[in-house]
Structure 1
């Protein structure tokens, strides 16, 4: 059935439309020679649509032919050997894409560095990953100063390498394809490097675009950071679709909304906090013509999905996955209308299982450990470690359940669950409850030590401008809807939650 599924999905998404026969032959020949990694996807797009605009950023725009030329020139000029690792500390830009693909074209391994890393974290990651070189945006020059033992390539130096390299019309594929390394979020410690697999064909792409209906040659704003698993996945999808990618170095909700309208974007790749910030803007007179807004990276706060679709239409899709598992399930607008907190259903070729501590299945509706299987599971961490597996399925590290209709729900992280007075308590459940309060802008709930009960919950709330809320009113709200052991002992009001560059709350920075 897979050939029928792949062929049908490609046809529905506009990937099998007629065109210049010579270009089509070159397109598939490029995939045959280079494979389905970023280097191959850029080459197939440049072969089929060389003059199509590939990227629009704050510096201008590049066609697919121009983007490929920059990537190949950089690959020929980099002071790096195949198999070595190159860090990329860059914001979203055409420069980052050409650097990323240039590194893989050479057969070196790009390591996507989180722009939110501190100088000491950056130095530690560079050492742990054994970087040979580090390409960085000029704004990070001071941070890079602490990194030792690597070739440091500034924006100016990269441009010199590209300008000084001769055109390479038919650069051969490397003996060993470059492998992209994505860092884990590092919200509780130093990030680890996870080796991303290279797709072996069209099926992984089709599994996603079957549920998230992005089409060939769309204009897609990738707002999620390209160093993040979801931003990186968005880039892979966009190149495969020969889309025009719209980028902005930093996320600013008003500027992004303007870009969506001005560049006539029909798709958007984002993380949930970005959608939340868009909703805090006044209703604009000119709305973007969005068909698809696909989010991933963290849970959707309570009620956000419904509010967003009430304003922008039923265009929101929520992908639940991780750096290690790629994807586990995808929620469509219909799923989110029926159950706004759902993570959706597993796409084609993906299995989700809810297991108990002994590895046995739990009854429908009961909470257990979430495991996932698909062909894009990561190849382990760069330090040689991996994650728990059970009969070919990877542990996500999350707890969840599946309802009678087959919808997946994530109830929280395994290591977030607390035991209060002998009862299991899930902070995420209380977070969702408090997020529904009209006065609350954002909320985080964690477990803290307690002398009497062992552990209790602490709630951190950021209120909307002009709103007030009493701590006891917060506790009363939880008492009315949950058991007494779910009531937070501490209610703390903050100006903002500490978040990393991908919008995840950094719990270790919450005041205790």
Structure 2
């Protein structure tokens, strides 16, 4: 490690006209610390002359008290550039040309335009420098590095930089120089291990956060000021039932009782009907013997009955375990026993999964059964006419199961929203508005679908709730109900794009303003294709059951860097930490920790994740770039060590997703006798494509490191997916010994 205060900068700006007969103008030279002083009149500020536009040639000289060899290795690595230099969204290796490394550079902004350039890196013979050449633009950067194991000097020359980045043309020489100087400083930080990978959005500033919360809820129309009487009734209902589903429907019913709250296959429910029916259902549950502190299980598809059960249980103080519809019978039995569930509410199609449970566990129908056969249902309970029940001290909680279809699921207790701050957090990154129409095909037993439902009540949004996802049916619903917000998981976005163009063109989707995806990474190719076809309306939400939200990438973020997970919403802190729980340098990969006011209340029967400085470990590895955007490399248990090199599957998946012959792909680590571990790729080909294993390996060989080349390439008809559409990679490399592998045959219209 090197002392932060020992880093000193020496830079000079030299501008020259690249024309015959032009004079060379030398503009100032000074020695400064690594940051500008706060006082602009300080004598320590470097002397410089700002020119209206950037010159053709700019030289920047920087010196650091760090080893030359470490700087050299970082500057030769293509991934260094988008991590430490703002404005570079991606730098992808390409097939080498004439023995020199080729890269595809993605630069620009959504407002000014995005450009991609092919750049050749030519390394000097004595390895004292290199050039980044872009012949098609007539632009290049020359970098010379000298020094030893204690000191490094870098001389960088930029020629025709304004041709590379659309923003540079209107900048001054000093601005471009400072950009280079700051980026090189971050390279030095990587060598020194500076603790810089922390980004905060108002989390440490209560006054700013409260002011921003007020602004967000007023802008979105959540708080009513123009009708004082309705506003008072809303606040009274929230005070009575809390900031949860029960309070949300009660408050919305006080403001707009006749507004449609929910649309499903059975028809329409208004906010008043939702409030009244769930009150009667809570009373019926109490009369049937359920009381505050009890817990019930809910195994259902998306529909009105599922929502009414969650709301009624919350009013009664009863916890609800949201059972994943993809769980096998024995896993459901384990959850029932572990969480001591007193009753089960079940859709008819899942009756067989609970038929062998103990007879003492009461069973109710969560859906409408034809002919009235089966257990007592929601409508029958409400029709009993009960209206009173003891109000609990604390409302019931929703328990979300975090695991997939193998292994005993962990139940995570979701906290109740903490006032308007919870709504304002997501509104600070996603422009949702009151009275929107929201389509939620994402399962409500999944954290993202549930969060969207909770948001809908605060916004008094009409929710269109299909029981299952079908790509064409979603487009039809968007067109029929003029949907403004579409809550999705990544496979849904992908499935819509996989529909034939003539089918997609049948439906008018111009009402859409927001498509918010969460639950798994969005492939860069999918991001760009979707926005090209449907406009810049895509939002990528990164979070988990344990931490709720972490970051949101808006369309501008995704245009510049399609693989980013975005930036933290209001009241959120994100940090990338090392094994010592201290922040790593910007650009370095480490464990992602998140802190906000919606961290979960713990598992039902498991140890909590690691904690550091009030933040929880997400279980993911990633890095923060120079502009504060988060990037996910993968799960910490997905990274493999092959031949001593850390290798992640996701870059390989991203690269293969760009191949036109590839429909879907998953890459996993498998044991290897020689290298310890290696990557294996599972590919779903498009119909009629001629892709083979050698083509896959060759493609990756020329784009990523040799350790990233998958030794095994297997072609499948479909990838195994859970009920939320997430790929179940463990089923690709060997299922749990007690569970048979389940490879779902996924039709083009379903997740």
TM-score interval, normalised by the smaller of the two chains: over 0.9
Cα pair 1:120 1:146 within 8 Å, conserved: no
Query: Do the aligned partners of residues 406 and 2 (structure 1) sit closer, same or farther apart at CA in structure 2, a change above 3 Å counting?
Result: closer
Is the counterpart of residue 234 in structure 1 residue 452 in structure 2? yes
| In structure 2, distance between residues paired with 1:72 and 1:165 | 10
Report the Cα offset of residue 505 of structure 1: 1.1
- With 440-449 and 276-285 compared, the bigger mean Cα shift is at 276-285
Q: How far is the alpha carbon of 1:127 from its aligned partner?
A: 1.5
Deviations 1:330-379 (A, max 9, x none): 00000000001000001111111011111122111111111110010011
Matched with 1:74 is 281
Q: Following the alignment from structure 2 to structure 1, what is the Cα–Cα distance between the partners of residues 579 and 247? A: 42
Aligned 8 A contact 1:398 1:414 in 2: yes
CA–CA distance in structure 2, aligned partners of residues 346 and 173 of structure 1: 37
**Worse-superposed segment, 279-288 or 43-52:** 279-288
1:185 to 1:261, Cα distance in 2 relative to 1, 3 A: farther
Cα 1:477/1:14, change in 2 over 3 Å: same
- 1:191-223 CA-partner distances (Å, limit 9, x unpaired): 100011112210111010121111001000011
Q: Confirm or deny: 8 A CA contact 1:69 1:167 kept in the other structure.
A: no
Q: Aligned residue for 1:124?
A: 334
Q: For residues 163 and 479 of structure 1, what CA distance do their matches in structure 2 show?
A: 66
Q: Return the offset for 1:178.
A: 0.6
- 2:576–2:624 CA contact under 8 A, matched in 1: yes
Deviation at 1:18, TM superposition (A): 4.6
- Partners of 2:305 and 2:688 in 1: how far apart? 42
CA distance in 2, matches of 1:361, 1:72: 49
Q: Distance in 1 between matches of 2:247 and 2:410?
A: 27
Q: Secondary structure at the residue paired with 2:342?
A: strand
Unaligned runs of 5+ in 2: 1-207, 370-375, 735-751
Which of 552, 570, 574 is equivalent to 1:348?
A: 570
Q: 2:479 aligns with which of 261, 264, 269?
A: 261
Q: For residue 467 of structure 2, what is the aligned residue in structure 1?
A: 249
Out of 681, 695, 701, the residue aligned to residue 473 of structure 1 is 695
Q: 230-239 vs 26-35, which deviates more? A: 26-35
For residue 228 of structure 2, what is the aligned residue in structure 1?
21
Q: Decide whether the 8 Å contact of 2:223 with 2:231 is kept in 1.
A: no
User: What is the CA-CA distance between 1:163 and the residue it aligns to?
Assistant: 1.2
Q: Tell me the secondary structure at the aligned position of residue 351 of structure 1.
A: strand
Within the alignment, does 1:165 sit opposite 2:385 as a pair? yes
Q: Which residue of 2 aligns with 1:491?
A: 713
- The number of equivalent residue pairs is 510
User: Per-residue displacement from partner, 1:313-343 (whole Å, max 9, x unpaired)?
Assistant: 1100011000101011000000000001000
Give runs of aligned pairs for residues 69-108 of structure 1, distance below 5 A. Answer: 69-78=276-285, 79=288, 80-108=290-318
Q: Between 8-17 and 47-56, report the one with greater CA deviation.
A: 8-17
Is 1:286 matched up with 2:498? no
1:434 to 632, 635, 656: 656
Partners of 2:716 and 2:428 lie apart in 1 by 41
* Residue-by-residue CA offset, 1:224-254 (whole Å, 9 max, x unaligned): 1001000000001001101000010011111
* Mean Cα deviation higher: 369-378 or 7-16: 7-16
The answer for the alignment partner of 2:259 in structure 1 is 52
Q: Distance in 1 between matches of 2:381 and 2:243?
A: 26
Contact 1:188 1:506 in 2 (8 A): no
CA distance in structure 2 between the aligned counterparts of 1:416 and 1:133, rounded to whole angstroms = 38
Alpha-carbon shift at residue 118 of structure 1 (Å): 1.2
Cα distance in 2 for partners of 1:179, 1:233 equals 13
Distance 2:229 2:409 in 1: 46
Aligned ranges 1:170-185 → 2 under 5 Å:
173-185=391-403
Question: Paired residue for 1:425?
Answer: 647
| Unaligned segments of structure 1, at least 5 residues | none
For the aligned residue pairs, the C-alpha RMSD in angstroms reads 1.4
In 1, Cα distance between equivalents of 2:235 and 2:685: 53
Structure-1 separation of matches of 2:710 and 2:212: 48
SS of equivalent residue, structure 1 residue 24: helix
